[in-house]
Amino acid sequence: MIRWLMPFVLLAVAGCTEAEPLPKVQRPPLGEVQPVAPGFRPPPSLPQIVLEPSLPGLRRLVYLSNGYLEAAHGLLLVPRNQAQPEKLLTLAKQLVERAFAARESLGVVDVSLYRAEDYAGFGGPLPLFTASVPRSRLGEFLRLPPEALTAYDHLWLNPGEPRPPLRRPSRLAERLPAFEGSPEELQEQQKLQTEQQRRGPLPASGLYYHGPPGSNKVALTFDDAVHPLFAPLLLDALRRAGVKATFFLIGRNAEAYPYFVRDLVQEGHELANHTYHHVRLVGLPEEVVRDELLRTNQLIERLTGQSVRFFRPPGGRYDAQVLRVARGLGLVTAFWTDDPGDFNNPGSEVIISRTLRFLRRGGIVLLHDNAQETLPVLGELASRARARGLLLTTLSDQAGW
């Protein structure tokens, strides 16, 4: 199990670290059954904050710490007749204020308000209202008038009627990249992959399997961003570790939590495309593939003013059409060399041991921004990498493009 999650094996030879050749891209196995995200094992249960008396419509109020910062996320379901902006703001204020009062150690409270009649979890209609409130800005948030919502920069009000998703999210577990095509096309992908392992990537290829092999830079990447509970904790952990990373954003998540997207840019991280609905692209009509990528590109550019360079297909599944569409939009399709399987909740000790074991020059580490067990290991990962003379950084910085 570990070997197929880890494409590379490091060997100590003559006092230096070498890696076995990169396993070649393969076709996906026939009849494969995909595990339901987030993997085979459920994550540890998040502790709950209990409000007495309870707030009507409160679905859950959970909290988590990265060892330095403690954050909470409240999910509130609102009846249709209370979905006006002023009522949403009032409900959000009540939830935030009561959460801080119930737990003095909280540093930030994030809230997501959904219309009760439409709520369908991840992949369903977007929330009506979201906000992120640090304790230091609680007074400012509580004084915010309904007519001046835009004065608070970590608040989003859905500008339209919540609609069902155009496509349901895929439930793909990350694994080795898998190409679906003819034997000749597969052979060409394997050839490009081997060439990049020896010489590094070229922008013209439109593919990024491996960074420059002589570089001491390791690209740190996070899929499935952004998440309302984990985003502030992850940002804080990376800041303390002195590390920059590339975040592959799901468009619908970025749309509902735009302030976290801007926070990523402000902290010096790189934004990349992970489709709008997190769907498996192989087999979809070309215009649907283009819409998934273009819609996310345009959203990121509108929120940040920055263009998008990299794209990663959900589950690593791709074919010639996916590559053609991505290249036509100016995107480089990026994969990974090192997947510790944090989506599968194997435990923090397993995540750090797997990642450190297979860390390599020019490597690309795949993690997930909503993996609870990854948070505690980021500081150790950064320090252990530095001790080996390796620097965790973004894909663009690694490539030098």
Please give the helix or strand (H or E) that residue 37 lies within, else none.
none
Burial of 127 per CB tally in 10 Å (0-12, 13-18, 19+): buried
C-alpha angle 159/165/168, rounded to 5°? 150
b/e per residue 61-81 (b: at least 16 CB within 10 A): bebbebeebbbbbbbbbbeee
Residues 158 and 275: their CA atoms lie apart, in Å, by 20
Which residues neighbour 81 within 8 Å (Cβ) at sequence distance 6 or greater?
none
Written as six digits, the tokens of 142 are 């509580």
The residue from 223, 339, 369, 397 that is catalytic is: 223
Please name the amino acid found at residue 276.
Answer: Y
Q: Collapsing DSSP states into helix, strand and coil, what is residue 2?
A: helix
As a whole number of angstroms, the distance between CA 359 and CA 177 comes to 18
Reading the block at residue 302, the tokens are: 């509108």
Pairing of β 155-157 and β 129-134: antiparallel
CA distance 109 to 196: 44
Q: Would you tell me the crossing angle of helices 230-241 and 258-266 to the nearest 10 degrees?
A: 0
Q: What are the Cα distances from residue 357, in Å, to 9, 116, 351, 381?
A: 7, 46, 10, 11
Distance from chain centroid for Cα 152: 25
Per the annotation, the verdict on 223 as an active-site residue is yes
DSSP secondary structure letter of residue 38: T
- Asked if 323 contacts 338 with a C-beta cutoff of 8 angstroms, the reply is no
Side-chain half-sphere of 304: how many Cα atoms within 13 Å?
28
Rounded to a whole number, what is the largest CA-CA distance in the chain?
Answer: 71
Other C-beta atoms lying within 10 Å of the C-beta of residue 21? 12
Exactly one of 154, 227, 269, 368 is catalytic; name it: 368
Residue in the block written with tokens 């690593």: 316
Burial class (CB in 10 A: 0-12, 13-18, 19+), 17: middle
Is position 210 annotated as part of the catalytic site?
A: no
Catalytic residue ranges: 223, 368
